[in-house]
Amino acid sequence: MAAQGELADKTVVITGAAGGIGSATARLFVAEGATVILLDRDAGPLKELAADMGAHAYDLDLRDEDAIDACVAGILADTDHVDALVNIAGVFVGSEGRVEESVRKTWDLSLDVNLRSTHHLTARLLPHLVARGGGSVVMTSSTQASAADVGWASYGIAKAGVEALTRYVATQYGPDGVRCNCVAPGVTATPHAMERFPEDRATSIKANTPLRRFGRPEELAEAYLFLASPRSSFVTGQVLAVDGGMVVHLPTT
């Protein structure tokens, strides 16, 4: 029986698929008929998710460019086409202190996982999308790319680089039919994210978010679906904030 749904007959690669946002996105894409290829370095949860959804999965450390190259070759050998790439994988490095206190090790981790790996995987799949006559690439940024915080400089700067990369890919590959957009999540209530928020900071963030709550992974998944699918066929080079209005106003408390 042919797949049913908006993404029927589409093949989508999703990085960070074992995480809260990634797994919610993968489930939504499958529900819309897509064949999903899941990438994550967390092999146990990745395999469980893939088995549950009947999806393809590749255990991949995105800091290893040779492994990325081999993974892309394997994907293209195992499937006859890829229509979209959804880059969700990232790392939040934790408190760095002020700029003068941040160290090279932290910057390398932030840049390697959040920016360099996103660029490298995207670059390896772009020729395939061009040869296919087009496709969609969706990146993941953060509110911290556009609004500075008291710490986490390397994270915010790496994510700002992702937004710039989005515009470059959209500009250079638009004539080939490839669209590239970016989702900028606010605080999203995944178990991993909630571990780093003490109660007083969570209360403060919610008070300064117009919708007065954190986002849900399923809400982020809808944004990725919109940008990866024909729903956004005339949208490219854009950053879509999914943050409950966090960065559009002055502090209220």
Active site residues: 155
What amino acid is encoded at 211 in this protein? L
Exposure of 89 by Cβ count < 10 A (0-12 exposed, 13-18 middle, 19+ buried)? buried
Helices 217-228, 20-31: inter-axial angle, 10-degree rounding? 50
Tokens in use for 55?
């999806």
Closest alpha carbon to 142 in 171, 182, 102: 182
Please tell me the distance from the alpha carbon of residue 111 to that of residue 47, in angstroms, as a whole number: 27
β pairing state of 135-140 and 56-59: unpaired
Residue pair 132/85 in contact by the 8 Å Cβ criterion: no
User: How many residues comprise the chain?
Assistant: 253
Tokens in use for 165?
């990369």
Please tell me the distance from the alpha carbon of residue 18 to that of residue 89, in angstroms, as a whole number: 9
Residue pair 142/156 in contact by the 8 Å Cβ criterion: yes
Closest alpha carbon to 27 in 59, 50, 45, 6: 50
Please tell me the distance from the alpha carbon of residue 33 to that of residue 6, in angstroms, as a whole number: 7
CA-CA-CA-CA torsion for 110, 162, 225, 223, nearest 10 degrees?
Answer: 90
